[in-house]
Chain A
Amino acid sequence: MRKGMLFLLSIICLMSIWIVRNNEQTKQGTAARETVPHLTAYVSAKEDIGRALLSSYCEQAGCTYEFVRLSTEELVRRVTKEADHPRADVIIGGTWDAHQTLKQRGLSTPFPSDMDQAELQDPDRYWIGYEVERLAIVINTDVWNERFGAAPYPKTLADLTAKRYQDELILPDPNHSGTGATILQAVFDGYGTKAEEVLRQLIERTRLFTANGFAPTSYVASGEAMLGVNFIGDQQSLREKYYPVKSVPLDTYSINAISKLKGRTQQKQANAFMRFVLSADGQAILRKVSFGTPTYAIAKTQPIQQNVGQDIVADYRDYLRRFNQLQDK
């Protein structure tokens, strides 16, 4: 009888051990996958830039990555919406004012940077600039010569409000694009009491507001439009491809930045990634895939220094509201 009991218990024990082992093997498989560091990024720069930086970093750090490309303003909206359950570890690209907004909303967290260029980063190091871009008017010289011959090119945003440019202008939409936001900021910073009138006329002349900062250059380079405004690096990229585009630089600079989000578990990995972006290796990659000026190459950026760290977010919300009111009219 005792033998029978023991036999029965042995059978049950063996079956239990088999089931538990089977279950543990599955768990171990999952745990093994979880130990490989994984970085999730929202990218507001061009897709190639995000992919190049993340893949190069993960190649050497042995991590995996995924990213979603969003326009700057859309990115800010999404991160704000996900505040309670952030889904991305790092934000790559987007103009510094967007990163400043994330800081002010308590969505990002400081980065232990040892970069000494104070004018290219947040004083509290919530975001760090990795490249600097300058706004410029882009002109299709073939279309210009056909229409206006040897007439001088427009040199300022106010020059673009001339009636002869009606429906010739393509601008990025500040509701979606960081480049558009920079232009809007430049209008209000540069024209004081006349700013609203300049903006009203610019809106009137504009044939199309694009959702991306790059798009105005491609419209102008192809000849689909004569004039546009965006960052000079984008214009340079198509000039090198033999498109008839002329850049007229404006006195407005912006910084493209990186930051990391609060409430994520991969803080160490995010720090290491940000260090990589700012390192010689990271900046060399940027030099190949981006047409901005990497921050290590900047000696002095006086125009930026005037703005960085200021509370521009509240002002900007007002600018955007006024833009939308004028556009709706």
Chain B
Amino acid sequence: MKASTIAYLFLMGVLFALGLLLLQQTVFGRLHVLDEPKRLNASDDSLPTELTLRHRAWGEQTVEDGTEVQRITTLLKQMKTVTNGTCPADPATFNGTLRFLNGTTWTFSLGESMTLNGQCVAKRPSTQTTTLKARFLNAYHEPEQLARQFAEAEVVTWYAAGRSRTLTAREREDVKRRLAQAEPMTDYEEVGQALDASQRQPRILKLQRFMNEQNTRANLLNITVYETLFSVQYMDDDNGNTFYLKGQLLPTGKEADR
């Protein structure tokens, strides 16, 4: 074989290897951003970017977790295909806005029925509406949000050993501070151990957001207080879910029984 042939083959081999290397570095494992407005607008499947919720009692909350926004969007898209005539005029518990990357927004209101972009998509409670409500309420599970709700509640009643009383201003300030410092618990082994270690009957804090609005589920929130943890339950969660937070919310010992 001639030296020129060898040189040619060598050069081709090097070029081939360099080509592979270039392909490896530039194409695979890279994120490609498709940001042409035409392409985005052409698709009904634009990416959801932000979800803002307004609960009639517990205020506004923005859902920032992208996975959660995507899950809720999927549920809303399933419901969007259903039209159900006219919804009854019941008060909405949630109002919300979902924003997409291409600039469009969807609005919805959810009570016992649900409207989406002005269309009635559920005349009565369904699996989808209760799932959505539970997901929306999940967004309010943060300690800071709970502390704010506690501060805004117009009536807070403390129940213990068959007796009840309202909290003093000083107690409320103290509980609010402790709520903001609490840590959500997701390890149920830990929850179980903490519940086992609880020596006394749990005390209950019942929050009523508006004093003049009695007999309304959406107006009520329960906090069950154990020694080292507490659980929170929104009364309008149709599944009756509770979530646990670590922290000593109320004083223990003699002071606790006053």
**Cβ of B3 and Cβ of A1 under 8 Å apart?**
yes
Q: What are 29 A-B interface contacts by the 8 Å CB criterion?
A: A4-B1, A5-B1, A5-B6, A15-B21, A47-B239, A48-B243, A52-B191, A56-B192, A70-B127, A71-B130, A74-B127, A143-B215, A173-B124, A208-B124, A210-B238, A211-B130, A212-B238, A212-B240, A214-B238, A218-B235, A218-B236, A222-B215, A222-B217, A222-B219, A224-B216, A237-B240, A284-B192, A285-B188, A288-B195
Q: A222-B220, A224-B215 are in contact. Are A69 and B1 (CB under 8 A)?
A: no
Please, what's the 1-or-0 string for A274-293, where 1 marks a CB less than 8 Å from any CB in chain B? 00000000001100110000
Is A241's beta carbon under 8 Å from chain B? yes
Is A323's beta carbon under 8 Å from chain B? no
Q: A212-B239, A215-B125, A217-B240 are in contact. Are A51 and B188 (CB under 8 A)?
A: yes
**Cβ of A241 and Cβ of B222 under 8 Å apart?**
yes
Task: Please give, as numbers and ranges, the residues of chain B lying within 8 Å of A219 by CB-CB distance.
Answer: 217
**Cβ of B17 and Cβ of A69 under 8 Å apart?**
no
Contact of B125 among A51, A173, A224 (CB under 8 A): A173
**Cβ of A19 and Cβ of B188 under 8 Å apart?**
no
**Stretch of A6-14, A82-90, A116-124, A253-261 on the interface side:** A6-14
B residues with CB within 8 A of A: 1, 3, 6-7, 9-10, 13-14, 16-17, 20-21, 24, 112, 124-127, 129-131, 134, 159, 164, 186-189, 191-192, 195-196, 204, 206, 214-217, 219-220, 222, 224, 233, 235-243
**Cβ of B125 and Cβ of A211 under 8 Å apart?**
yes
Distance (Å) between the CB of B56 and the closest chain A CB?
A: 14
Question: CA A203 – CA B23 in complex, angstroms?
Answer: 67
Contact of B20 among A15, A51, A223 (CB under 8 A): A15
Contact of B126 among A11, A48, A176 (CB under 8 A): A176
Q: A59-B187, A219-B217, A242-B204 are in contact. Are A234 and B240 (CB under 8 A)?
A: yes
Question: CA A223 – CA B217 in complex, angstroms?
Answer: 8
Is A22's beta carbon under 8 Å from chain B? yes
**Cβ of B20 and Cβ of A215 under 8 Å apart?**
no
Distance (Å) between the CB of B250 and the closest chain A CB?
A: 15
Task: Please give, as numbers and ranges, the residues of chain A lying within 8 Å of B222 by CB-CB distance.
Answer: 241
Is A55's beta carbon under 8 Å from chain B? yes
Sort A-B residue pairs by CB-CB distance and give the 5 closest, nearest first.
A223-B215, A214-B240, A4-B6, A52-B188, A15-B17
Is A46's beta carbon under 8 Å from chain B? yes
Closest to B138 in A: A47
**Cβ of A222 and Cβ of B216 under 8 Å apart?**
yes
Majority secondary structure, A binding face: helix
Task: Please give, as numbers and ranges, the residues of chain B lying within 8 Å of A143 by CB-CB distance.
Answer: 215
Q: A214-B238, A218-B235 are in contact. Are A209 and B126 (CB under 8 A)?
A: no
Please, what's the 1-or-0 string for A207-240, where 1 marks a CB less than 8 Å from any CB in chain B? 0111110110111011110000000001001000
Question: CA A10 – CA B258 in complex, angstroms?
Answer: 86
Task: Please give, as numbers and ranges, the residues of chain A lying within 8 Å of B238 by CB-CB distance.
Answer: 210-212, 214-215, 218
Given contacts A51-B186, A211-B130, 20 further A-B contacts (CB under 8 A): A1-B1, A4-B7, A7-B10, A8-B9, A11-B13, A19-B24, A46-B239, A48-B241, A55-B187, A211-B125, A211-B129, A212-B239, A214-B239, A215-B125, A218-B240, A222-B219, A237-B240, A241-B206, A241-B233, A288-B192
Distance (Å) between the CB of B141 and the closest chain A CB?
A: 12
Task: Please give, as numbers and ranges, the residues of chain B lying within 8 Å of A12 by CB-CB distance.
Answer: 13, 16-17
Task: Please give, as numbers and ranges, the residues of chain A lying within 8 Å of B243 by CB-CB distance.
Answer: 48
Please, what's the 1-or-0 string for A164-197, where 1 marks a CB less than 8 Å from any CB in chain B? 0000000001001000000000000000000000
Question: CA A159 – CA B26 in complex, angstroms?
Answer: 74
Task: Please give, as numbers and ranges, the residues of chain B lying within 8 Å of A71 by CB-CB distance.
Answer: 127, 130
